[in-house]
Chains A and B, each alone.
Chain A
């Protein structure tokens, strides 16, 4: 029996060892809150972005464009030209309608030296590699929580609300998006940001 226990524990060791680090670089994989309270939750942000893109793909042709670093996404917000971004076309694939960027710094017109790193930003068609707030259609923030029941603190919500204000969203052009679900999501985002954050956070683990 004890021999079996050793075998079982060894399987567990291999599984946790492999799952807790990136196979390629050996760096830590997962959600990490460091001693300095710096959070590493780009995997969850990516997951949220994929759910949004999956929905958009029902009515749009989605193409991944390479950045200078290739088809690679940033772990922390960076300069747009370096990183891959998604471009949304109409269903025939001829007209560019919007861009979906992950972790891209956006300049604020009123204070151009200040940038805001948005987890997910939906930018107007043809937006350059140097996006300003006026190029932004929608920003989304993904917040990973330990438990679904955890209530987001008011400071976090206010911070995001201020970002939305800075971006001057909604710059909504309804015809950009044909997906009814996406439209609903965007309206929710603009009118009830708090709910949006909660929706994204809470649905993450129940979506299969």
Chain B
């Protein structure tokens, strides 16, 4: 029988845990059977971090009828530690490699409320070996890192150019080009404008007054958006964000080369962020008909 892969959310209050050396016993009750068997593999998720890999040593299922005459399963799973990860792995880095995820930003926690989840092998390996779905992670991260107002404006812009996205078509190449264009036009260029404006303003008014300058909404005069602080943000991050185009262009190149995978790999190996098409394609089947990864 094919091996199954699981994630156990160790911080779930419904899971009882007992430890004995490298062996952890988890027990809980539920209405459904648990389909895990000896030899399956599992990952421990604790709060927001994947911390260790285990194998399922033993699975005990006991059936009983509760006072409402409903069937209840008492489940005990014994996990044997295979490897503690050198560093805890933040789940946000892996979200775009899991097809069931629909919320990627502040609501991502909603997907991890249950005691356990089943995973496909390729998802499991994404966590264990950091073999994430790079193209989707790169695009999704670029989109969902933007302020929510920008995400809404971006979707409006994208739908105008690529209306198919509204009905669930997802051409990574088209999205990649538009993400780059949007971020350059609507975030990076304004940041550069502000940097340059701040330089002129500082020369005109001196350092002391410059520190007091800012912008306000007429109907919200309690919050002043300070020009100096924003200039410092621009100084710190414009160069990194500028690299976006270079890396997202690889998504484009890689996608274009997908009918001849080897060529695509050759094209991108000279770049600092390598995308291995053969590994990327393992995710194809899992992500068929998946919508644009954006949280609105």
Q: Are B230 and A12 neighbours in the complex by a CB distance under 8 Å?
A: no
Pair A12/B145 contact, Cβ less than 8 Å = yes
Alpha-carbon gap, A64 to B194, bound state (A): 18
Are A3 and B223 interface neighbours, CB within 8 A? no
The answer to the question of B190 belonging to the interface, with a C-beta cut-off of 8 Å to chain A, is yes
Is A155 on the interface with B (CB-CB < 8 A)? no
Say yes or no: B130 contacts A14, CB within 8 Å: no
Q: Is B51 an interface residue (CB 8 A)?
A: no
Partner of B190, one of A3, A30, A71: A30
Contact with B along A22-56 (1 / 0, CB 8 A): 11110111111111000000111011001101100
Instruction: Map CB proximity to A onto B51-89 as digits: 1 under 8 Å, 0 otherwise.
Output: 000000000000000000000000000000000000000
Please, which residue of chain A has its CB at the minimum distance from the CB of B201?
A50
**Interface size class for chain A?**
35 or more
Q: B-facing mask of A1-21, CB < 8 A → 1, else 0? A: 111111011111111111111
Contact B186 A73 (CB under 8 A): no
Chain B residues touching A, range: 35 or more
Whether B224 lies near A72 (C-beta < 8 A) is yes
Restricting to B258-296, which residues have a CB under 8 Å from any CB of A?
Answer: 272-274, 276
Chain B nearest CB, measured from A51 CB (Å): 7
| Bound Cα distance from A3 to B192, whole angstroms | 31
Dominant SS among interface residues on chain A: mixed
Decide: A2 and B129 in contact? CB cutoff 8 A: yes
A44 and B134 form a contact (CB under 8 A): no
Verify A72–B146 contact, CB threshold 8 A: no
Please, which residues of chain B bring their CB within 8 A of the CB of A53?
A: 200, 204
Contact with A along B233-244 (1 / 0, CB 8 A): 110111011011
CB proximity to A under 8 Å, residues B85-140:
93, 129-132, 134, 137-138
Q: A6-B130, A30-B187 are in contact. Are A54 and B204 (CB under 8 A)?
A: yes
A-B contact pairs, 11 of them (CB 8 A): A2-B129, A2-B132, A8-B247, A16-B183, A27-B147, A30-B147, A33-B157, A44-B193, A50-B200, A54-B203, A69-B216
